[in-house]
Amino acid sequence: MNLKTFLNFTRIQTLPAAVLSPLAGVLYALWYFKSFHWLPTLFFFLGLASINLFVSAWNNLMDYRKALDPEYKKWNIIVAKNINPRLAFKLCISFLVFDVLVGLIVLYLTNWAILPLGGLCFLIAIFYTYGPFAFSRFPLGEILAGLCEGFFGFFLAVYINSYDKGYFFIRFEGWKMTWIWDFKLLFPLVLVGLMCFAQNFNIMLSDNLCDLEQDIRNQRYTLPYYLKTPASLTLFTGMYVLAGLCILVSILLGILPLWTLLMLLILFKLIPNIKTFRARQIKSETFHLQIDNLMLFNGALALSLFLALLFD
């Protein structure tokens, strides 16, 4: 496997979009909590890159193994680039092992409260396309993508930089465990995290809309299969409305800085992209518009937080 094939197999081009939400989380911790811990942050991003590469490679491998449509199997990268499936499997396991090791380091440097969240994301990454009851074959993909890549990506980035504030903390006294949940401080993270959730939810929803007919041939019954296209597009638009409402409420409550109002500038690009995708859902022509919107949205959020750090 040469370098170009490796990069295509792991979909390295998706990595920048994956790090924007956590980057916004780091900046939010700096702005809201005035807190930053560089060492766990470094390991967190190393683990994030590893699990992102694993998920892309693993999905390619599982799609190859489970494909029922002969035409689909022909253009799967395993066949198209003549990749040895055993080599592909070994690469996936290598990414997974590295992520586990890095995750244990982050756990050691922060607090046990991170374990159930990280563990949940880890299991979803594996079983999204693996096993007889893979999540991708049920109407769960949008919610799981929104949670793992959007909400938890943001939340964990904030948390590892502010865990010592004690708002979400596990403490042991002998065999007695106390788990602290300070909802006054958790609420802002949930509200802002919902914005990231909505963007990643729409990534998966738009992907499944574009692949609807092909997924049916491969016996993958995703959310658009049950909702049908008109209702799915209404939900698609509704997630943007949800994100917008979260921004307004967050600014009014002081959860986000006034600089966040600058995010209104991206509407000039965001809205035309939404309209174009609603008009036609073609993978090669319009799916990239949702990726563009995610990068615009999360990038604008990160930039507004950076400006707040500089000038507030």
pLDDT-based confidence at residue 305 (cuts at 50, 70, 90): very high
Q: Does residue 18 surpass a pLDDT of 90?
A: no
Report the DSSP pairing between strands 176-181 and 168-173. antiparallel
pLDDT tens digits along 185-234: 999 999 999 999 999 999 999 999 998 888 888 778 889 999 999 999 99
Q: How far apart are CA 256 and CA 155, in angstroms?
A: 15
Tokens of 276: 């174009």
Question: How many helices and strands in the chain, by DSSP H and E?
Answer: 14, 2
What digits encode the pLDDT tens for the residues 90-108? 999 999 999 999 999 999 9
Please report, in angstroms and rounded to a whole number, the separation of the first and last CA atoms in the chain.
50
C-alpha triplet 252, 272, 144: angle, nearest 5°? 65
Within 8 A by CB and 6+ apart from 178, the residues are: 170, 171, 172
Q: Which of 155-164, 213-222, 279-288 has the lowest mean pLDDT?
A: 213-222
Write the pLDDT tens digit of every residue in 173-185: 888 999 999 999 9
Residue 205: CB atoms within 10 Å: 24
> By C-alpha distance, which of 179, 160, 153 is closest to 33?
160
**Average confidence score pLDDT of the chain:** 90
Q: 22: number of CA atoms within 13 Å, CB side?
A: 24
Identify the pLDDT of residue 15. 85
Token pair in block for residue 295 = 């990068």
pLDDT tens readout for residues 220-275: 888 999 999 999 999 999 999 999 999 999 999 999 999 999 999 999 999 999 99
pLDDT at 242: 95
What does residue 290 show for φ and ψ, rounded to 5 degrees?
A: -70, -35
